[in-house]
């Protein structure tokens, strides 16, 4: 008798529960699907970090006016999605986007901000799911992998349409960052190679004169020993990273590898670091660490970020890295006095180089418009502002002509970039995988678990196994 | 009252919203991962999925790095779970015992703060705590005239322990919270009755508290094992699996295979094997739970 | 008895301090003047709110957006989770139907796969459902990960409540659903808050889904805001720590507020009826 009533009550209350759940979900959905209108507050002047750099003057705001011819009769509005992790670091990019939209009224750019942490995972995920961004930024270390996976669309046709002079505007090494199997997959907008940073204060306190030029590896070693001798115990002559947390560990070594005449990966796809020259170059670092003890001993605890802080705090006298680190050091340690020097030479000059590029997705529905955008963002006016603000080597020769780039420290980097021994590292197949092996080998050598010879032999074996399928004829 | 079969099946109605929600959203992805493990997914992700059957699995079982990462994972999980549960219980008991309300609330809130901090920030913070140049610990050692090198993440011997300690610091407050809630489920009347009967604190704990907590214990262990087994964020940020392969856990190895080598087939196979391990462990634990419930 | 209590107090103090030291270090790091992040003194030489000012005035509007999105996602996830999990927990606890234990195990299946691997199929699903770039997608998937925990917590709790209470209510004419609402919920406050707080916390700190399922700058959450301090070449450490501190403040306030729901008295009061 009470059974039917119970069932009815139960059903009713269950419906009520369901309604509550639906309302909760619906409310959340309403809020979520109606995000407030995106209004970008675009600043028309760039904000440059106020640095008290002794050896260089950073120009303040640079407002650029371009006379880009407007396209012909605007057709329907086309939307291009643009993903870049530097949108927050470089507010000028929003200005650039606005400038582009003004000169191309039928194109609307939709910027997607994603932090660098996990950027490429997101890119790959979006590509696999079929909705990648139309234009996106990438680094040469990811170039091969993304090109082979079909995430990038070759730009050769567009470049050919621009005429033969187009390619010549770009610095060759920078251009090569985007080459994959003979095809050009992206255009560079940021470029830089490695030069030595010297901490003036540490040199001064140790009573060691800063050399005008770094002649040889021996000189570096002697400077480091001299500084260590005359400095408090926590200060070291030279510092380099040894942890796996970024590519800095191998970046540091590659400079010496190239200077000794060895190669990272040969034309035939075998690795070139397991040669006497390669072994010697790594041995140099291992000796600095273990024999001369002029390097902070817990090398495997340091990544590039920690070395940058140690350098800025005056714990290390010498380091080498790219020009992008200058702002990194100065923003965390405004009183640091940096002196930049060209790389030493041994058998020849050598310096690792890298940068950042823009590419287009094959799933982009408006490839011509995307190409216009990429072309614009790597054009003279945009690059000249960004290279000055960010302090890096512009990938274009015409921007390099600017007098700003004739002042140290950036002039040193540019000089280094023009040398033949400056290689872009990273544009190789499975680069992250072989980097893992290389860094493991380095760590084993640094920690004394294996000799340099053994470690590199092991790394060579692993890397060649991974590389072989990519170079099969 | 005789339990009618029809009456028991009413349970299905109660559990259906959750089951429907959960399964509709999670079945397809899980099956897809399992499915991909039977393919060799070529770098060109869309084209070139070649069916290779169990080849990926054979590769897994022949892969020395798989065993290394599995071993590291087991150490990481065992160390974390052990301290999470026991330390968490210990803290919960301590806090429960306190009667000064202000002190109790302040301590409880302070201990709970670590779980409010996002894992990435915790990882970087502890990376610096373990760092010889930036940490306050060497200063303490110097003050005490101890000549110990403090660079726990630099050496393969200590790196895994260091990461485990960070995980313990970060997640034990969660378990203190859970235990506090679980302890509330024990009726205080039984305590009062036993006090009247003259039982002291140890006896009360052993014969009353412990049996009632057993179910929660098993559940928390199960839950912690499952969550820590594939916990990637902390280790990735702190060491990326280094130095060498001393902190390479299964999660970081899978990540490297999936997103650095773009080897989704192999990564899925690794993930499936890990899943099998965990499924076995948790089935055992859940059946133990049923017997006591 | 007094002696034991003293020991309890001392031990509590020791552990509280141990747990607090890294936090103290983190917070004082953010309060130092620029350039002195790593100066290792107990107190900053000068208290400088520079880092916070940079964030609050430099990117204040963004941070407000981050907070708003995180709060919406976390609250929605918690509510949906509790609404789905509580009746299910009751069902699992009180009814011995076929497959009771099997379903419990199946619920845990999803947690056993690495999230990074599953993120691609999830993304595919979300795209198919045309829900890409909404907070709703994040909420939807976050619930999948908080449900099992809430379910097991509530089930364990219901298991510890003697069925006699249900029986007496049923005999009095209450329906099953009524038992949930009128009898179980009022005494489950502690457990509900423990489960709810965990769900809230878990979604608050969640990074993968927030990053993968949204692309609008307006939909970023607090964890993404923190992640932005990590650059390509180096990390702005003070900003990282300061963002993390700012992100955890609302959560800590929530903790302080819900402290009072952890009073023991609620249970004994209910049982004595």
- What pLDDT does residue A302 have? 93
Q: Give the strands of the sheet with A316-321, arranged side by side.
A: A236-238, A316-321, A195-199, A338-341
Q: Which residues, including other chains, have CB under 8 Å from residue B102's CB and lie 6 or more apart? A: none
Q: Indicate if the pLDDT at residue A47 is higher than 90.
A: no
| Nearest partner of A345 among A174, A196, A203, A172, judged by Cα | A196
Assess contact for A441 and A460: CB atoms under 8 A: no
What's the pLDDT tens digit per position in C17-69? 999 999 999 888 888 887 778 877 777 778 888 888 888 887 777 888 899 99
Residue B71 C-beta-side C-alpha neighbours within 13 Å: 8
Nearest to B259 among A124, A296, A439 (CB): A124
Neighbours of chain A (3+ CB pairs under 8 A): B, C
In chain C, % of residues over pLDDT 90:
27
Burial A383-419 (b: 16+ CB within 10 A, else e): bbbbbbbbbbbbbbeebbeeebbeeebbbbbbebbeb
Across the range A348-368, mean pLDDT stands at 93
In chain A, % of residues over pLDDT 70:
84
Q: Indicate if the pLDDT at residue A260 is higher than 60.
A: yes
- What pLDDT does residue A338 have? 94
Q: Indicate if the pLDDT at residue C4 is higher than 90.
A: no
Its CATH architecture, for the domain C54-272, is Orthogonal Bundle (1.10)
- What pLDDT does residue C37 have? 80
Confidence tier at A31 by pLDDT (50, 70, 90): very low
- What pLDDT does residue A276 have? 95
Residue bearing the bigger pLDDT, B234 or C35: B234
- What pLDDT does residue B289 have? 65
Give the nearest chain C residue to A247 (CA atoms): C233
Assess contact for A467 and A429: CB atoms under 8 A: yes
H or E stretch covering A339: strand A338-341
Q: Indicate if the pLDDT at residue B139 is higher than 80.
A: yes
Neighbours of chain C (3+ CB pairs under 8 A): A, B
| Nearest partner of B127 among B161, B169, B162, B173, judged by Cα | B162
CATH of domain B41-292: 1.10.3720.10
- What pLDDT does residue B97 have? 82
Across the range A80-86, mean pLDDT stands at 93
Q: Which residues, including other chains, have CB under 8 Å from residue B200's CB and lie 6 or more apart? A: none
Q: Indicate if the pLDDT at residue A134 is higher than 90.
A: yes
Residue bearing the bigger pLDDT, C131 or A274: A274
Window 246-265 of C, Cβ < 8 Å to B: 247-248, 251-252, 255-256, 259, 262, 264
- What pLDDT does residue A35 have? 38
Confidence tier at A75 by pLDDT (50, 70, 90): low
- What pLDDT does residue B263 have? 87
What's the pLDDT tens digit per position in B175-189? 998 888 888 777 666
Residue B194 C-beta-side C-alpha neighbours within 13 Å: 16
Are C113 and B271 inside 8 Å of each other by CB? yes
Across the range A173-185, mean pLDDT stands at 91
**Mutation target among A125, A337, A352 for the C interface, most CBs of C within 10 A:** A125
- Cα gap B262→A346, rounded to integer Å: 38
Is C43 an interface residue toward B (CB < 8 Å)?
A: no
Residue bearing the bigger pLDDT, A246 or C267: A246
Contacts of A426 in chain B (CB under 8 A): none
Q: Indicate if the pLDDT at residue C271 is higher than 70.
A: no
In chain A, % of residues over pLDDT 90:
66
Count CB atoms within 10 A of the CB of residue A20: 12
Are B120 and C125 inside 8 Å of each other by CB? no
Q: Which residues, including other chains, have CB under 8 Å from residue B64's CB and lie 6 or more apart? A: none
Contacts of A25 in chain B (CB under 8 A): none
What's the pLDDT tens digit per position in B158-209? 999 999 999 999 999 999 988 888 887 776 666 666 666 766 666 666 666 6
Q: Cα torsion at C74, C251, C110, C154 (round to 10°)?
A: -90
Q: Indicate if the pLDDT at residue A41 is higher than 50.
A: no
Confidence tier at A38 by pLDDT (50, 70, 90): very low
The answer to which of A68-77, A290-299, C173-182 has the lowest mean pLDDT is A68-77
Give the nearest chain A residue to B150 (CA atoms): A298
- Cα gap B220→B211, rounded to integer Å: 15
Across the range A52-71, mean pLDDT stands at 38
- Cα gap A97→C235, rounded to integer Å: 26
Residue bearing the bigger pLDDT, A54 or C123: C123
Tell me the pTM. 0.87
Domain segments of chain C as ranges: 1-48, 54-272
- What pLDDT does residue A46 have? 35
For the record, the structure tokens of B53 come out as 């059957």
Q: Indicate if the pLDDT at residue A282 is higher than 70.
A: yes
- Cα gap A414→A406, rounded to integer Å: 9
Q: Indicate if the pLDDT at residue B43 is higher than 80.
A: no
Please tell me the distance in Å from B255's CA to the nearest CA on chain C: 7
Residue bearing the bigger pLDDT, B124 or B213: B124
Window 186-225 of B, Cβ < 8 Å to C: 186-189, 201, 212, 215-216, 219, 222-223
Give the nearest chain C residue to A3 (CA atoms): C175
Count CB atoms within 10 A of the CB of residue B142: 11
Q: Indicate if the pLDDT at residue A370 is higher than 80.
A: yes
Q: Which residues, including other chains, have CB under 8 Å from residue A397's CB and lie 6 or more apart? A: A168, A169, A170, A171
Give the nearest chain B residue to C99 (CA atoms): B12
Are B256 and A449 inside 8 Å of each other by CB? no
Contacts of B4 in chain A (CB under 8 A): none
Domain segments of chain B as ranges: 41-292
The full DSSP string for A222-273 is HHHHHHHHTS-TT-EEE----SSSSTHHHHHHHHHHHHTT--SB-TTS-B--
The answer to which of A218-227, B209-218, C194-203 has the lowest mean pLDDT is B209-218
Please tell me the distance in Å from B11's CA to the nearest CA on chain A: 13
Please tell me the distance in Å from A239's CA to the nearest CA on chain B: 12
Across the range A447-457, mean pLDDT stands at 95
Confidence tier at B36 by pLDDT (50, 70, 90): confident
Across the range C170-197, mean pLDDT stands at 80
The full DSSP string for B10-61 is HHHHHHHHHHHHHHHHHHHHHHHHHHHTTEEE-SSSSS-EEE-TTHHHHHHH
């Amino acid at each position: 008798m009470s059974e039917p009533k119970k069932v009815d009550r139960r059903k009713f209350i269950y419906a009520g529960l369901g309604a509550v759940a639906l309302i909760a979900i619906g409310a959340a959905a309403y809020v979520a699907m109606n995000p407030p209108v995106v209004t970008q507050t675009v600043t028309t002047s760039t904000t440059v970090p106020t640095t008290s750099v002794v050896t260089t003057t950073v120009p303040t705001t640079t407002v650029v006016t371009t006379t880009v011819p407007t396209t012909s009769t605007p057709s329907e509005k086309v939307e291009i999605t643009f993903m870049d992790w530097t949108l927050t670091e470089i507010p000028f990019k929003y200005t650039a986007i606005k400038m582009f939209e003004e000169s191309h009224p039928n194109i609307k750019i939709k910027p997607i901000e994603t932090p660098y942490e996990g950027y490429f995972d997101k890119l790959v995920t979006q590509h696999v799911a079929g909705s990648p961004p139309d234009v996106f930024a990438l680094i040469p270390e990811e170039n091969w992998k993304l090109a082979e996976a079909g995430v990038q669309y070759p730009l050769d046709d567009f470049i050919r349409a621009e005429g033969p002079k187009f390619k010549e505007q770009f610095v060759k090494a920078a251009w090569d960052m985007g080459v994959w199997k003979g095809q050009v997959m992206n255009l560079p907008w940021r470029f830089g190679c490695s030069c030595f940073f010297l901490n003036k204060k540490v040199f001064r306190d140790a009573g060691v004169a800063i050399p005008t030029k770094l002649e040889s590896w021996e000189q570096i070693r002697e400077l480091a020993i001299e500084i260590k001798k005359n400095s408090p115990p926590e200060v070291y002559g030279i510092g380099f990273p040894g942890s796996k947390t970024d590519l800095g560990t191998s970046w540091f070594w590659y400079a010496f590898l190239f200077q000794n005449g060895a190669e990272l990966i040969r034309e035939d796809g075998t690795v070139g670091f397991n040669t006497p020259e390669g072994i010697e170059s790594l041995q140099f670092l291992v000796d600095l660490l273990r024999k001369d003890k002029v390097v902070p001993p817990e090398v495997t605890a340091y990544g590039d970020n920690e070395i940058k802080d140690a350098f800025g705090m005056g714990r290390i006298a010498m380091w080498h890295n790219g020009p992008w680190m200058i702002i990194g050091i100065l923003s965390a340690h405004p009183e640091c006095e940096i002196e930049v020097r060209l790389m030493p030479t041994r058998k020849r000059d050598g310096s690792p180089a890298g940068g950042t590029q823009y590419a287009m997705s094959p799933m982009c529905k408006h490839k011509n418009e995307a190409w216009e955008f990429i072309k614009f963002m790597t054009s003279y006016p945009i690059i000249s502002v960004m290279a000055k603000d960010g302090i890096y080597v512009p990938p274009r020769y015409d921007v390099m002509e600017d007098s700003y780039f004739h002042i140290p420290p950036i002039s040193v980097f540019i000089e280094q970039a023009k040398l033949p021994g400056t290689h872009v590292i990273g544009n190789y197949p499975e680069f992250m995988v072989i980097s893992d092996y290389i860094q493991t080998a380095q760590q084993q050598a640094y920690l004394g678990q294996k000799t340099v010879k053994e470690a590199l032999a092991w790394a060579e074996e692993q890397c060649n196994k991974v590389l072989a399928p990519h170079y099969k004829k | 009252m005789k339990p009618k079969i029809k009456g028991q099946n009413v349970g299905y109605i109660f559990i259906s919203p959750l089951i429907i929600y959960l399964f509709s959203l999670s079945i397809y992805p899980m099956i897809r991962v399992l499915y991909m493990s039977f393919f060799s997914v070529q770098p060109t992700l869309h084209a070139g999925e070649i069916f290779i059957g169990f080849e990926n699995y054979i590769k897994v079982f022949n892969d020395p790095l798989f065993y290394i990462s599995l071993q590291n994972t087991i150490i990481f999980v065992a160390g974390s779970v052990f301290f999470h549960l026991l330390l968490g219980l210990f803290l919960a008991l301590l806090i429960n015992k306190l009667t000064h309300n202000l002190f109790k609330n302040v301590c409880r809130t302070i201990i709970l703060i670590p779980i409010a901090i996002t894992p990435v920030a915790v990882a970087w913070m502890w990376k610096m705590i373990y760092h010889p140049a930036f940490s306050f610990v060497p200063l303490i050692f110097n003050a005490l005239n101890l000549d110990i090198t403090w660079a726990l993440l630099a050496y393969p011997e200590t790196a895994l322990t260091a990461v485990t300690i960070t995980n313990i610091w970060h997640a034990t407050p969660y378990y203190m919270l859970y235990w506090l809630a679980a302890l509330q489920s024990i009726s205080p009347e039984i305590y009062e009755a036993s006090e009247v009967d003259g039982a002291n604190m140890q006896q009360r704990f052993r014969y009353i508290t412990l049996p009632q907590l057993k179910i929660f214990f098993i559940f928390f262990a199960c839950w912690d094992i499952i969550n820590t087994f594939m916990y990637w964020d902390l280790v990735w940020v702190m060491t990326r699996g280094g130095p060498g392969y001393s902190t390479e856990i299964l999660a970081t190895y899978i990540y490297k295979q999936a997103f650095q080598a773009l080897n989704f087939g192999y990564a899925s196979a690794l993930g499936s094997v890990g899943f099998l391990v965990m499924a076995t462990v948790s089935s055992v634990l859940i059946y133990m739970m049923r017997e006591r419930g | 008895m007094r002696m034991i209590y003293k020991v309890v107090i001392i031990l509590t103090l020791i552990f509280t301090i141990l747990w607090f030291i890294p936090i103290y270090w983190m917070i004082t790091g953010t309060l130092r003047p620029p350039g002195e992040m790593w100066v290792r003194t107990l107190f900053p030489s000068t208290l400088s709110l520079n880092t916070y000012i940079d964030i609050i005035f430099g990117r204040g509007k963004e941070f407000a957006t981050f907070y708003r999105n995180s709060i919406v996602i976390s609250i929605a996830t918690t509510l949906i989770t509790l609404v789905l999990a509580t009746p299910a927990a009751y069902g699992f606890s009180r009814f011995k139907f076929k497959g009771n234990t099997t379903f419990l195990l199946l619920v845990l299946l999803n947690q056993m796969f690495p999230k990074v691997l599953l993120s691609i199929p999830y993304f595919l699903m979300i795209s198919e459902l045309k829900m890409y770039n909404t907070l709703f997608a994040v909420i939807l998937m976050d619930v999948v990960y908080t449900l099992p925990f809430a379910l097991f917590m509530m089930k364990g709790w219901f298991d510890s409540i003697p069925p006699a209470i249900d029986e007496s209510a049923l005999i009095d004419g209450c329906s099953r659903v009524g038992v949930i609402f009128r009898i179980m919920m009022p005494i489950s406050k502690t457990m509900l808050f423990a489960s709810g707080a965990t769900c809230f916390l878990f979604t608050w700190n969640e990074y993968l889904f927030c990053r993968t399922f949204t692309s609008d700058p307006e939909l970023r959450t607090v964890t993404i805001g923190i992640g932005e301090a990590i650059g390509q070449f180096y990390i702005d450490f003070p900003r990282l720590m300061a963002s993390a501190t700012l992100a955890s403040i609302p959560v800590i306030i929530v903790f302080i507020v819900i402290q009072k729901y952890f009073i023991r008295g609620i249970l004994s009061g209910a049982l004595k009826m």
